[in-house]
Structure 1
Amino acid sequence: MASQSAAEQRKGLLSLHGAILLFGGTALFSQLIALTALDITIIRCFIAVATFVVLFQFRHERIRLDSWRDYAIAVALGILMATHWATYFAGMQYAGVAIGVIAFYTYPLMTVLIEPLLHRQLPHGTDALMGLVGLAGLWLIAGNNGTEQNSEVIAGIITGVISALLFTARNLLYKYQFSHYSGTQAMFYQTLIGGLALIAFISDDWQQASAKDWAFLLLLGVVFTALSHSLYTTSLRYLKAKTVGLISCMQPVYSTSLAVLILADVPTWRTVLGGALVLSAAAYETLYGHKKAQS
């Protein structure tokens, strides 16, 4: 039993690190694909839907939901997920990969500040303090050089924070209303509904997309969306929530490192220092937030 447990833990850790690396890699596509954030999101959704359908057939997994209420919740989840993705890519197109990802990674802080309100409780004082630490990090990043560059950085931060808020809302809705479904089922409906909700806003630019753009879109939809979420779901079966949360804090590190290696997008010292503040606050909440929730 001990060896089996160790093997399962290794499988969970490998799945999780693979998922977080792929999650981090999605940031690169905001720069690699010559389309708007909205167009990328819509096409990504439909490619992921097709991939999830294949996965359902392969796993003999059920697609149907249990009730009309669950379909209504799925609609809300899909809209939140799709708008989160669109603003996530937009933030990085404005300000670059590192800043966009760091701004988005304020979502763990938002979660610990908002979730107690659902239980009619006030956040802990340390949670509020960590929120201020995260804001200080964003303020440090926003103080870049050059008026034009600074306006783009601020636009990227604002858009990234909006993406984080949408992602927080999606996570809380899923946790309290939809978690009785598998991650694959949830992502299928989110990508399907998200794509359908946004398709009316797609531009004509996608018709002129190059073969390279389509190759990147397929890679994004199949590997960096469907496969990554399947790996993430697998990890949740074998690892504690705290472990998953702490390792997930590596996502901005993976994103920034890949951007440096592939895009030569080197962050400034202000971005590195501000990012360290944001990630430290997020890591603290991931490590200690569950203890406060149980007290």
Structure 2
Amino acid sequence: MPERGHQNGLLELHLAVLLFGGTALFSKLIPLNAADITLFRCVVAAMALAILVKVSTQTLSLTKPKDYKVALVLGTLVCAHWVTYFAAMQLSTVAIGMIAFYTYPVMTVLIEPLLNKQRIQAIDVMSAIAVLIGVILLIPEANLNNDITLGIIVGICSAALFTARNLIHKKHFSQYGGAKAMFYQTVVAVFILLPWQQTDLSALSQNTWLMLVILGVFFTAAPHALFASALRKLSAKTVSLVSCLQPCYGAILALLLLNEGLSSSTMIGGLIIVATAMFETMQHQQKKKA
């Protein structure tokens, strides 16, 4: 039975990471700006997540009053992260945007020790240098007028926001399940983005509405639920390592569905960044065991 549970957990995890990787495609498939995509995504996801929480017989309320303030901070960070995430891919390509975003694992291992008043290890600094080399290989030219270069910068900003969100979540909000935690964050994002909405709802086609529903339900609520379920069945190391496949899944889906090719420099830079992320993940888990 434990082996069966492990296999089910791996299947759930890979499906969740595949869906997370597929999220990036909607930056190209939905004809809206990044802020409006994020707004409608959060509206649909919040409703789906609320249903998931209720179905699992949990209450939507938080345990402590101060947790609502934490949820507000997390929701603000998630909102900014998702807007910049989609913007990065609209400026460049799905593969380049995702690879730039995946600098966040190395950002985490550099920032977390500082927050915990620990020394940064030399190996982590070397990893940061490797990631920097990978990013440089992605850049076609050092010119902010170049959309791909701008997309990489925005993608790295998205990674920084995601890193901040993860560190705060781990320290102050980890007592809540994935569905409940994301429900509050998506609701906060909705209220932040509503005043900036530019899209006329009546002008949206049926296909756009369908894409927004698919994004919110199957590529936001569902993978978060699957990911939370996998965490209960698998080791943190396994979860972290498989998660590093997200940019690979995203690039493959973009190649198959959007016909987005990869240049040799993008492939090499991406390989360096993803390999470094996997290395740092293994290092991090070994440090926790030590």
**TM-score of the superposed pair, with normalisation by structure 1:** 0.95
Distance apart, 1:288 and its partner CA: 1.3
2:286 equivalent to 1:291: yes
Tell me the residue number matched to 2:22. Answer: 25
Q: After the TM superposition, which parts of structure 1 deviate over 6 Å for at least 4 consecutive aligned residues?
A: none
Within 1, Cα distance between the matches of 2:288 and 2:17?
25
Counterpart of 2:102 (choices 96, 102, 105) is: 105
Within 2, Cα distance between the matches of 1:201 and 1:67?
31
Distance apart, 1:241 and its partner CA: 0.8
Counterpart of 2:71 (choices 62, 70, 74) is: 74
Distance apart, 1:195 and its partner CA: 1.1
TM-superposition CA deviations, 1:186-228 (whole Å, max 9, x none): 0100101111112111113554222111111000000000001
2:31 equivalent to 1:34: yes
Is the 1:35–1:205 contact (alpha carbons within 8 Å) kept by the matching residues of 2?
Answer: no
Counterpart of 2:146 (choices 128, 144, 151) is: 151
Within 2, Cα distance between the matches of 1:53 and 1:111?
30
Which one-letter code corresponds to 1:143 in the other structure? P
Counterpart of 2:174 (choices 159, 166, 179) is: 179
- Return 223-232 or 118-127, whichever deviates more: 118-127
Tell me the residue number matched to 1:269. Answer: 264
Is the 1:144–1:270 contact (alpha carbons within 8 Å) kept by the matching residues of 2?
Answer: no
Tell me the residue number matched to 1:216. Answer: 211
Distance apart, 1:292 and its partner CA: 3.1
Distance apart, 1:123 and its partner CA: 1.4
Which one-letter code corresponds to 2:127 in the other structure? M
Which one-letter code corresponds to 1:226 in the other structure? A
Is the 1:106–1:161 contact (alpha carbons within 8 Å) kept by the matching residues of 2?
Answer: yes
The secondary structure found in structure 2 opposite 1:167 is helix
Is the 1:106–1:164 contact (alpha carbons within 8 Å) kept by the matching residues of 2?
Answer: yes
Counterpart of 1:191 (choices 173, 183, 186) is: 186
Tell me the residue number matched to 1:136. Answer: 133
Which one-letter code corresponds to 1:182 in the other structure? G
Within 1, Cα distance between the matches of 2:11 and 2:153?
33
TM-superposition CA deviations, 1:104-145 (whole Å, max 9, x none): 000100000000011112211100110110010010110359
Tell me the residue number matched to 1:126. Answer: 123
Is the 2:137–2:265 contact (alpha carbons within 8 Å) kept by the matching residues of 1?
Answer: yes
Counterpart of 2:11 (choices 9, 14, 26) is: 14
2:75 equivalent to 1:53: no
**TM-score of the superposed pair, with normalisation by structure 2:** 0.97
Within 2, Cα distance between the matches of 1:123 and 1:130?
12
Q: Report % sequence identity.
A: 44
Which one-letter code corresponds to 1:208 in the other structure? A
Is the 2:60–2:180 contact (alpha carbons within 8 Å) kept by the matching residues of 1?
Answer: yes
2:244 equivalent to 1:249: yes
Aligned length: 290
Within 1, Cα distance between the matches of 2:208 and 2:36?
12
Within 2, Cα distance between the matches of 1:5 and 1:286?
25
Tell me the residue number matched to 2:253. Answer: 258
Tell me the residue number matched to 1:83. Answer: 80
Within 2, Cα distance between the matches of 1:118 and 1:165?
15
Is the 1:24–1:252 contact (alpha carbons within 8 Å) kept by the matching residues of 2?
Answer: yes
Unaligned segments of structure 2, at least 5 residues:
none
Which one-letter code corresponds to 1:112 in the other structure? V
Distance apart, 1:53 and its partner CA: 1.8
TM-superposition CA deviations, 1:212-267 (whole Å, max 9, x none): 11111000000000001000000000111110111011101100000000000011
TM-superposition CA deviations, 1:59-93 (whole Å, max 9, x none): 21111001220000000010111110100000000
Tell me the residue number matched to 1:228. Answer: 223
Is the 2:141–2:149 contact (alpha carbons within 8 Å) kept by the matching residues of 1?
Answer: no
Which one-letter code corresponds to 1:78 in the other structure? G
2:268 equivalent to 1:281: no
The secondary structure found in structure 2 opposite 1:265 is coil
Which one-letter code corresponds to 2:63 in the other structure? D
Distance apart, 1:54 and its partner CA: 1.6
Which one-letter code corresponds to 2:217 in the other structure? V
Within 2, Cα distance between the matches of 1:269 and 1:202?
38
Which one-letter code corresponds to 1:215 in the other structure? L
Distance apart, 1:293 and its partner CA: 4.6
Within 1, Cα distance between the matches of 2:236 and 2:66?
28
